[in-house]
């Protein structure tokens, strides 16, 4: 655990040192749970957006993208249920005065039991070696069975109490499980209260004339209210999807763990409109498609797991999370939700406008069902950054810090380094950049020894370093160094574009 906490600290400090992420308004000591993306962070973030946007829109002829306003008519949030039901159950520890989400305290307790099961499996796997049958072990070992039973019982109790809004029951569960405050170590808990997560502000310049509006807590509603506009203007036929990337805001009670849980963040959401009754087929399709999209990045298949929701959101009839192995353990990265016809029907009721689709094949009109995929851009950023940051010991015993980002996502694709600052080498290096910059984000660096410059590029994840030396002036060739293998090849300047493109072009990621 301590090692994992150290890893998160390492990620935070690396992100700051190299211009990926800064604490927001740092000169005023920052603002809790808000962060700014720096010069390299913005590039990485843009590349993540492009990967998602292209895979949704360019790769699917029946999905289009929009960019809706953050401010929406206040009735939107009444209709969507967020005014009444977008709450988190809160509990305070009277000794530490720290506030927690009651459901998260219980989920963390469950995770500890799950860790015990994992340890049993690890122990047995070491003991039995190749003959170890994990499935049989999980189904028969008494300790595992006892702990699995415990988890099922706690999950069931949590589901029932939360669904019935039985806040006293949630508190009792925390007490029965003997959950202690991680800060004070005490079980001195207050009652549980509901807390609405939406930020509100006022619209209108004249006092008294103002009306309360909300900062959107999800981008999805901008898609729902535009369902008919897009369907009609785009002549979309069901099944079809509408995708969007944009900011969302939540007054999170416990906002911590760097950019994992922020009050201002970005979502990449897609609503897929389907025939009623076909939603489960599409729910399975999108679960599989989204897991594949994540795994194509090559961060390791074991870094992902699917987790079905215990308590369904007010709009869903099925929901699961794609969890990622963050430095803090497995946590939600993306949600896949079968949202039924809840949102469109609610908007129909509140606006008085029909939100229906005429299906020419069935010759009937209906309110479509919706399957949603929703991934946090900042969480994607943290997943990629934390997984890629490594300390490597090289063959000669020296160490290097490497950010082994997927090549297509790296902020800079190429660094061009003149061996010395004289003999026309800088001019030649700049000439190379002037040719490559139309295809790749390039960086020029002439300061320090070539070894130090390679290390700097490794630390920011640049896939290729081009070194310009005296031989370059003679025969138009350069040294091309690969970040991961550190192999160096001699290559003609004329072949650089073709060679690098084959390795860094996002199309190869999209083809996977």
Kindly state whether residue 269 participates in binding ligand GAP, applying the rule CB under 6 A: yes
Please count the residues of the chain: 512
Q: Give the count of residues interacting with ligand GAP (CB under 6 A).
A: 19
Sole window of 20-28, 143-151, 333-341, 461-469 interacting with ligand GAP (rule: CB under 6 A)? 333-341
Instruction: In whole angstroms, give the CA distance from residue 374 to residue 325.
Output: 18
- Cβ neighbors of 48 (< 8 A, separation 6 or more) are 377, 380, 381, 384, 409
Select the residue interacting with ligand GAP from 63, 220, 429, 466 (CB under 6 A): 220
DSSP tag of 375: E
Kindly state whether residue 333 participates in binding ligand GAP, applying the rule CB under 6 A: yes
Sole window of 55-63, 109-117, 273-281, 376-384 interacting with ligand GAP (rule: CB under 6 A)? 376-384
Kindly state whether residue 323 participates in binding ligand GAP, applying the rule CB under 6 A: no
Q: Which is nearer to ligand GAP, 166 or 252 (CB)?
A: 252
3-state DSSP assignment of residue 305 = strand
Q: Which is nearer to ligand GAP, 148 or 257 (CB)?
A: 257
Q: Which is nearer to ligand GAP, 409 or 442 (CB)?
A: 409
CA angle 94, 97, 99 (to 5 degrees): 100
Sole window of 74-82, 158-166, 261-269, 288-296 interacting with ligand GAP (rule: CB under 6 A)? 261-269
Instruction: In whole angstroms, give the CA distance from residue 445 to residue 412.
Output: 12
CB of 388 to ligand GAP, least distance (A): 18
> From the CA atom positions of the chain, what is the Rg in Å?
26
CB of 262 to ligand GAP, least distance (A): 4
Kindly state whether residue 171 participates in binding ligand GAP, applying the rule CB under 6 A: no
CB 376 within 8 A of CB 382: no
For residues 26 to 65, the per-residue mask of contacts with ligand GAP, x marking binding by CB under 6 A and - elsewhere, is ----------------------------------------
Kindly state whether residue 225 participates in binding ligand GAP, applying the rule CB under 6 A: no
Select the residue interacting with ligand GAP from 45, 157, 171, 261 (CB under 6 A): 261
Q: Is 73 exposed, middle or buried (0-12, 13-18, 19+ CB in 10 A)?
A: middle
CB 184 within 8 A of CB 99: no
Instruction: In whole angstroms, give the CA distance from residue 401 to residue 417.
Output: 19
Let me know how many helices (H) and strands (E) the chain has, helices first.
Answer: 18, 23
Give me the residues that bind ligand GAP (CB under 6 A), please.
218, 220, 250, 252, 261-262, 265, 267, 269, 332-335, 372, 374-376, 378-379
């Amino acid at each position: 655990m301590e090692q994992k906490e150290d890893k998160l600290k390492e990620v935070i400090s690396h992100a700051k040192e190299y211009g990926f992420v800064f604490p927001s308004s740092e000169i005023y000591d920052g603002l809790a749970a808000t962060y700014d993306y720096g010069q390299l962070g913005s590039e990485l973030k843009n590349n993540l957006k492009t990967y998602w946007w292209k895979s949704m829109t360019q790769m699917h002829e029946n999905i289009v993208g929009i960019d809706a306003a953050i401010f929406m008519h206040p009735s939107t949030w009444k209709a969507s249920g967020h005014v009444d039901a977008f709450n988190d159950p809160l509990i305070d520890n009277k000794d530490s005065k720290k506030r927690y989400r009651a459901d998260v305290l219980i989920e963390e307790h469950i995770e500890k039991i799950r860790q015990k099961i994992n340890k049993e499996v690890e122990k047995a796997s070491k003991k039995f070696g190749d003959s170890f049958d994990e499935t049989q072990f999980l189904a028969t070992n008494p300790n595992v069975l006892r702990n699995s039973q415990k988890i099922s019982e706690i999950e069931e109790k949590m589901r029932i109490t939360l669904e019935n809004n039985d806040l006293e029951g949630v508190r009792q569960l925390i007490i029965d499980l003997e959950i202690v405050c991680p800060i004070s170590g005490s079980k001195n808990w207050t009652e549980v209260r509901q807390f609405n997560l939406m930020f509100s502000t006022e619209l209108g310049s004249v006092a008294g004339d103002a009306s309360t509006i909300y900062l959107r807590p999800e981008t999805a509603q901008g898609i729902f209210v535009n369902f008919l506009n897009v369907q009609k203007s785009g002549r979309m036929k069901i099944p079809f999807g509408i995708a969007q990337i944009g900011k969302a805001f939540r007054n999170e009670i416990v906002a911590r763990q760097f950019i994992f849980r922020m009050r201002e963040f970005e979502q990449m959401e897609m609503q897929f409109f389907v025939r009623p009754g076909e939603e489960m087929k599409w729910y399975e399709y999108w679960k599989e498609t989204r897991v594949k999209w994540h795994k194509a990045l090559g961060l390791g298949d074991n870094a992902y797991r699917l987790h079905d929701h215990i308590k369904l959101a007010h709009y869903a009839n099925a929901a699961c999370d794609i969890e990622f192995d963050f430095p803090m353990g497995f946590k939600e990265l993306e949600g896949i939700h079968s949202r039924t016809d809840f949102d469109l029907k609610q908007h129909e009721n509140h606006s008085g406008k029909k939100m229906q689709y005429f299906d020419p094949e069935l010759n009937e009109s209906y309110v479509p069902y919706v399957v949603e995929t929703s991934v946090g851009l900042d969480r994607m950023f943290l997943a990629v950054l934390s997984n890629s940051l490594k300390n490597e010991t090289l063959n000669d015993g020296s160490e290097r810090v490497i950010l082994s980002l997927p090549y297509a996502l790296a902020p800079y694709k190429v660094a061009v380094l003149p061996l010395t600052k004289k003999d026309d080498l800088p001019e030649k290096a700049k000439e190379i950049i002037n040719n490559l910059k139309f295809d790749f984000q390039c960086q020029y660096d002439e300061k320090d020894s070539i070894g130090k410059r390679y290390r700097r590029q490794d630390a920011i994840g640049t896939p290729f370093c081009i070194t310009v030396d005296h031989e370059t002036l003679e025969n138009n060739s350069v040294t091309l160094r690969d970040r991961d293998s550190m192999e160096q090849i001699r290559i003609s300047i004329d072949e650089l574009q073709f060679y690098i493109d084959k390795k860094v072009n996002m199309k190869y990621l999209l083809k996977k």
